[in-house]
Amino acid sequence: MIRVYPRKKLDYSFANILSALTMTIVPRLDKSKIINEIENLWPMENVIAGLSVRTIFDSLLTTKNFEKGSEVIMTGITIPDMVKIVESHGLKIVPIDLDMETLQLKKEALNKAISKKTVMIVVAHLFGSRMEMGPVYEALDKRSDVMIIEDCAQAYNGINGYTKQSKTDISMFSFGSIKSITALGGAIGFTMDKELKKEIINKLSKYPKIKNAEFRKKVLKYIALKILSNPFIYGFFILICRFLRIDYDKIIISTVRMVQGDSLLEAIRREPATSQLRYLLYRLTSMNENHISQRKEVGDYVKNLLKNCDIHGSANPTHSYWLFPIRSSRREKLVKLLRDSGFDATFTSTQLIPINKTDKDDNALVECEKYMSETIYLPVYETMSKKSLDKLARVVNDNSKKSII
């Protein structure tokens, strides 16, 4: 039997996921008390709990009701759903290129992007890193009318890892199925504005509520995926798919994707099940956050092993390696070599893409497009042995010498 390390570590144990199953069978019915307990984890903040970051963001735009044609500046790399949400409100996106070594917005591009029509900037913290917000605050110092939003869906570092940003209007954190400290869904938003919190919560409370039975179905699916994520079982699964000529890549992607088809707004405009909120509270209060620092140590270890290799965010000191992306000019060949060596590297497993260019020539996403067109995601996480990590780096380095990457 072949051992293959899956592309992503599912951040929950069997004990965790079985607790979730129990909560769907014997739910605690007092939803308001659960939400109050979640809010009390950050007593100095105005906390918003919702189904997803997309849900909170969409509700924010609905609440603000900006004039049609207003401009929203966005980090040049994001997921398509965030783009669709902005466009569904009749707003125009102005994407900003990134320095891919630091994962920081390019200051000059940001300054050029700000116009009289700008009403919001959405800063996405990518791959497990945090962007330095100082340049954003500086650029908007004289524009108090522009909302500053931090999309921290990929950058949760624990209850004590959140640093309050006094000039950010809302910071949003995800606990989706493949995120750090996952609760199989759910999101938290922090805002400085008590009235804005009330307005968003009022909007969220009017959405239809997901039934516990639907969340139970999701839990059962992720129990199966947890079993599948064992490297030996996963390797056997890949062998079977290859024998049957089935594209296992498509199976994995479709299984973990939250929204499929054209039903985005319908899917996100819902309230989480009470059992899901209870599981979110359980995960937030019971999770040992040391594994995030351990993952960072492993990521730094692999980064130091790789030679002549561009690593997204390699110069960002906050990188916690939720994902480990590298560049390869011949990524199909390198992915095949890595998979043949027991590492399920991929370039299709995330939805992260460069935003399509606008009609503003100044907003060409040179680095974003260059890097993302050549991106490979390596399986790098703290449960992998040093021997396996050394082997992974050796495969990449050996093929670098042969001018494959």
For residue range 110-135, list pLDDT tens digits in order. 999 999 999 999 999 999 999 999 99
Instruction: State the angle between helix axes of 14-25 and 212-228 in degrees (0 to 180), rounded to the nearest 10.
Output: 160
51 domain-assigned: yes
* Bridge partners, 78 (sequence order): 353
Higher-confidence residue of 253 and 277: namely 277
Higher-confidence residue of 162 and 302: namely 302
Tell which of 181, 205, 229 closes a domain. Answer: 205
Residues 6+ apart with CB under 8 A from 339: 4, 238, 345
301 domain-assigned: yes
Tell which of 152, 181, 205 closes a domain. Answer: 205
Angstrom distance (rounded) from CA 9 to CA 256 = 13
Q: Which of 107-111, 122-126, 227-231, 251-255 has the lowest mean pLDDT?
A: 251-255
- Do 198 and 96 lie in one domain? The reply is yes
- The overall average pLDDT reported for the chain is 91
Residue 373 tokens, joined:
């067109």
pLDDT tens for 306-330 read: 998 999 999 999 999 999 999 998 8
Q: What's 169's DSSP letter?
A: S
Angstrom distance (rounded) from CA 71 to CA 87 = 10
**Helical H segments across 326-384, by residue range:** 331-340, 366-372
| Number of domains composing the chain | 2
- Confidence class of residue 290 from pLDDT cuts 50, 70 and 90? confident
241 domain-assigned: no
- The CA-based angle 341-348-81, given to 5 degrees, is 155
- Do 35 and 148 lie in one domain? The reply is yes
Q: What is the pLDDT of residue 361?
A: 52
- Do 34 and 158 lie in one domain? The reply is yes
The pTM of the full predicted model, rounded to 2 decimals, is 0.93
215 domain-assigned: no
Domain range spanning residue 362?
A: 290-400
Residues 6+ apart with CB under 8 A from 66: 89, 91, 119, 120
Angstrom distance (rounded) from CA 224 to CA 231 = 14
- Do 297 and 188 lie in one domain? The reply is no
- Confidence class of residue 378 from pLDDT cuts 50, 70 and 90? very high
Percent of the chain topping pLDDT 70:
94
Q: Kindly report the CATH number assigned to the domain that includes residue 316.
A: 3.90.1150.10
pLDDT surpassing 90 at residue 183:
yes
- Do 197 and 294 lie in one domain? The reply is no
228 domain-assigned: no
42 domain-assigned: yes
Q: Strand, helix or coil at 375?
A: strand
- Do 37 and 186 lie in one domain? The reply is yes
- Confidence class of residue 33 from pLDDT cuts 50, 70 and 90? very high
* Bridge partners, 174 (sequence order): 187
Which residue, among 58, 69, 205, has the nearest Cα to 122 in the 3D structure?
58
Q: Do 264 and 57 form a contact (C-beta atoms < 8 A)?
A: no
Tell which of 205, 239, 269 closes a domain. Answer: 205
**Helical H segments across 40-106, by residue range:** 53-64, 80-88
pLDDT surpassing 90 at residue 277:
yes
53 domain-assigned: yes
353 domain-assigned: yes
- Confidence class of residue 404 from pLDDT cuts 50, 70 and 90? very low
pLDDT tens for 155-182 read: 888 776 666 667 999 999 999 999 988 9
Give the mean pLDDT of 241-269: 84
